[in-house]
Structure 1
Amino acid sequence: MADVVDLCAALLRFDTTNRGGGDSEGEREAAEFVAGVLADAGIEPEILESAPRRANVLARVPGTDPSLPALLVQGHLDVVPADAADWSVPPFAAEIRDGCLWGRGAVDMKDFCAMVLALVSEGLRPKRDLVLAFVADEEDKGDYGAHWLAARHRDRFEGCAAAISESGGYTYHVPAADGRTVRLYPVGTAERGTAHMRLTARGRAGHGSRRNDENAVARLVGALARIAAHRWPVHLTPTVEAFLVRTGEALGVEVDLSDVDGTLARLGPAASLAENVVRNSTTPTMLDAGYKVNVIPSVAQAQVDTRVLPGTEDDLLATFDELLGPDVEREFVAHQAPVQAPVDSPWFGAMAAALRAEDPEAVVVPYCMGGGTDAKAFSPLGIDCYGFAPLWLPEGFPYRALAHGVDERVPLEGLRFGTRVLRHFLTHA
């Protein structure tokens, strides 16, 4: 039986940096390690490569009641780049200091992968069959990982009713109105969709010193200014509404759904879990135009990071086109639908019960992720996807800043807490 801390440290020592655009390393070695742990536990793993060295591991753990629908447990093995010069420790050395395990991927998300491996290693007997997926390429587009698996190996996921993965089930300490500190545990039940767009403005090329009313750069900048200044209306999804109501109740503050901005102001630090998902967002992020300062180019382009709440895309695109005006065209560079799982479901109830079994004062609330995960690959298969990677965190621990940040680390006790919670969930759900 392998210890979760040792397993997490071993995973962190694999440099699985994903630079995007197909440029990655170490995924094959990490996948072989995972497969070895599974094989040692008597589970037969399958390594599937979407391209040379872009490796994914699939396995099935039999449950005690095979009549129940299976549960998909999925996590990614790749990580974002880390510049060692910025870190206090080498990012792939897996050092232990100050009660934490340090390294790139410690909370995103090799901690969860290690918990799953630790449970399998100890001989976990889940209530239902588990389909395990340790995937590549989540930190880019998932084309070599989850999306490839869902498209090319859909049969491996047949019978899965729900899935769990990253970004939920961690401790969030929030001051209440009466001076208490409430321990929230947000569980992801939704994600905004991705509708990244490339904008192209065309015009008449010419000399920079001369008047030009068909300047492509000016047309593009005008459109971007309108997009950046636009205030998208509030749209409350079932997940966000439930978050606001239940969090407000736990904190003892007034919740007025007709005044969402005022409600968020009263939630204090907890507002950060909802403030980015009460509206759609369209954020200009990239510009490309011209090749010489005294030449007006005929084409100018930009990219806009667009995030879409469930049920709002048609209205967003219609408004977006009005903001663009007649001289700018758009096209999708990434387009993935929002994810939405039932809030009040037996799955959510089982997650809440597992957290309360280890922390009786846990307040478990649903929340919507502002970005995205590999749930976007598995949700179209009819699988209800939840963000549930349980982790205990001490008060003041900068968890949300560490994913993709400098000096990423995970508390050792947090790993052990998460493993116990996950064991309870998998043996009872």
Structure 2
Amino acid sequence: MTLYDDTLTLLKELISNACVNDFTPGSGQEVRNADTLERFFGGLPAGRVSIQRLEPEPGRTSIIVTVPGTDEGAEPLTLLGHTDVVPVDESKWTKPAFDAVVADGKLYGRGAVDMLFITATMAAVTREVARRGGNKGTLYFVGVADEESRGTLGAKWLSENHSDAFSWKNCLSETGGSHIPGADGSDSVIVYVGEKGAAQRRLHVHGDAGHGSAPYAKDSAIVKIAEVARRIAGITPEVSHSDIWGGFVKAFRFDPVTQASLIDGGDPAPLGELAAFADAVSHLTISQTVLRAGQAINVLPSHAWLEMDIRTLPGQDDAYVDRLLTQALGDLAPEVEIEPLICEEATLSPTNHPLYQALSDTLRDFFPDADVVPMIAPGGSDLRFARRLGGVGYGFAVHARERTLGHAHGQLHSHDEYLYLEDLKLTVAGYEAVIERFLY
């Protein structure tokens, strides 16, 4: 069997293990995929690999595979592949979500794109390095639990409790490798170099309690929170002035007027399927997602609160977020309590780094006429923990030119999630090439 065949077989089993993480205690049970991966590495000659399993809670297992290098001074490389997947609404799927069905050159299944095809690739290439030997730098493969719930029992827990179990210095994870077709027929391919941060907030207001039959002269918490929501919705965040945002827009090769408008934060509609993605990565975003007030229909509630999913750009800290909210609230600000929830600053890795150069050179081997464009992700990944510990982290895969960034992003957490088998084959070859460049 070829390396691609091994990867596809492993990928199907990882999907069928259905390690669904719905954020509730005991879900995920990534132990099933850890068992599969441990079996996958079985039968190698003694001393070629070491395997460690770490489990903060029963069933929430991460597996660490180490292939020692021949040169202690050589740079290590760590492949971070998460093994959990998000839930499915089976009524909306036309194919069984966990049967790993292959049809029309595609593999259907929850996690096929996010991110089990990369995880399987990482494992297969790591096993091949162990068989081959001769790698100067040490290679680590980490099958990580609990990524979909912000890494609490996975990469976050590992970074805080077992930071020396593997190297965080040079890391690869999801996803990258999709394309931006230029208006002039040109091609650009994405490498993720960073991700937005989280600055979740809960806004509390208080009013007068009382009987629902007598609202006269009552200070309504519901009316007040509605006005808070209206004012927050009116915030127009500053557009990024970073080279990453400008480079992303320029990759589309629009006419100068359209390009300048987009870079300055104009209507992203010309970006088509990527309009929402572009809006998200061009500035801080505020999504009002949860509103609570009252219990009984005949009781005036004295307390109401609004929860917001706020995503920040690099350089925007918690103080910046709170100033923005306070300014928007205006004269209401003294009556609003701002409670921070999950707060994580945005992270970014440099493009003038040997690992980024290896990724860029590899992508140019596949697509000689393409520009390689660094990009930040609107959501989170396990790479932020590597960056916080002083390492670098990049999202890498290889997709055929027909697979646009909009297509790849649209597959994440979607119904009938599917991967083109062509892209699996390309990604396997891509990881082989990167490891050859970086470790040998």
Report if TM-score (shorter chain) is over 0.5: yes
Question: Residues 337-368 of structure 1, C-alpha deviation per residue, up to 9 Å, x if partnerless?
Answer: 11111123322221111112223233210011
Partner of 1:107: 113
Partner of 2:306: 302
Partner of 2:52: 46
Partner of 2:197: 193
Partner of 1:72: 78
Contact 1:285 1:303 in 2 (8 A): yes
Contact 2:199 2:309 in 1 (8 A): yes
From 407, 417, 420, the counterpart of 1:398: 407
Offset at residue 69 of structure 1 (A): 2.6
Partner of 1:388: 396
Report how many residues are paired: 421
Offset at residue 167 of structure 1 (A): 2.3
Question: Residues 249-305 of structure 1, C-alpha deviation per residue, up to 9 Å, x if partnerless?
Answer: xx3643438952359566665655533111101110011111122311111122100
Offset at residue 398 of structure 1 (A): 3.0
From 363, 369, 385, the counterpart of 1:377: 385
Seq. identity, %: 31
| 2:323 counterpart of 1:323 | no
Change (3 A) 1:38 1:175: same
From 256, 260, 264, the counterpart of 1:260: 264
Report the more deviating stretch, 408-417 or 330-339.
Answer: 330-339
Change (3 A) 1:241 1:23: farther
Offset at residue 417 of structure 1 (A): 0.5
From 149, 153, 156, the counterpart of 1:147: 156
Contact 2:211 2:298 in 1 (8 A): yes
From 244, 248, 262, the counterpart of 2:249: 244
Contact 2:118 2:174 in 1 (8 A): yes
Contact 1:392 1:414 in 2 (8 A): yes
Partner of 1:422: 431
Partner of 1:176: 183
SS at match of 1:225: helix
Report the more deviating stretch, 290-299 or 48-57.
Answer: 290-299
Partners of 1:84 and 1:268 in 2: how far apart? 29
Partners of 2:340 and 2:205 in 1: how far apart? 15
| 2:27 counterpart of 1:6 | no
Q: 2:20 is matched by which residue type in structure 1?
A: T
Partners of 1:153 and 1:37 in 2: how far apart? 24
Partners of 2:271 and 2:262 in 1: how far apart? 15
Contact 1:173 1:183 in 2 (8 A): yes
Partners of 1:20 and 1:154 in 2: how far apart? 24
Contact 2:268 2:275 in 1 (8 A): yes
Q: 2:188 is matched by which residue type in structure 1?
A: L
Structure 2 gap segments, 5+ residues each: none
Question: Residues 177-201 of structure 1, C-alpha deviation per residue, up to 9 Å, x if partnerless?
Answer: 3xx2x33211111111001112221
TM alignment of 1:8-23, pairs within 5 A: 8-23=11-26
TM alignment of 1:292-371, pairs within 5 A: 292-313=296-317, 314-324=319-329, 325-371=333-379
From 274, 285, 291, the counterpart of 1:281: 285
Offset at residue 36 of structure 1 (A): 1.9
Report the more deviating stretch, 103-112 or 320-329.
Answer: 320-329
Moved runs in structure 1, 4+ residues, more than 6 A? none
SS at match of 1:24: coil
Partner of 1:34: 37
Partners of 1:265 and 1:82 in 2: how far apart? 30
Q: 1:237 is matched by which residue type in structure 2?
A: S
Partner of 2:98: 92
Partners of 2:301 and 2:156 in 1: how far apart? 38
SS at match of 1:394: coil
Offset at residue 108 of structure 1 (A): 0.3
SS at match of 2:56: strand
Offset at residue 394 of structure 1 (A): 3.3
Report the more deviating stretch, 140-149 or 391-400.
Answer: 391-400
Partners of 2:354 and 2:294 in 1: how far apart? 56
Contact 1:74 1:165 in 2 (8 A): yes
Report the more deviating stretch, 323-332 or 25-34.
Answer: 323-332
Offset at residue 393 of structure 1 (A): 5.9
Contact 2:29 2:61 in 1 (8 A): no
Q: 1:115 is matched by which residue type in structure 2?
A: T
Structure 1 gap segments, 5+ residues each: none
Q: 1:191 is matched by which residue type in structure 2?
A: E
Tell me the C-alpha RMSD between the 2 structures: 2.3
TM alignment of 1:108-147, pairs within 5 A: 108-122=114-128, 123=131, 125=133, 126-147=135-156
Partners of 1:238 and 1:101 in 2: how far apart? 36
Partners of 2:351 and 2:276 in 1: how far apart? 20
SS at match of 2:415: coil
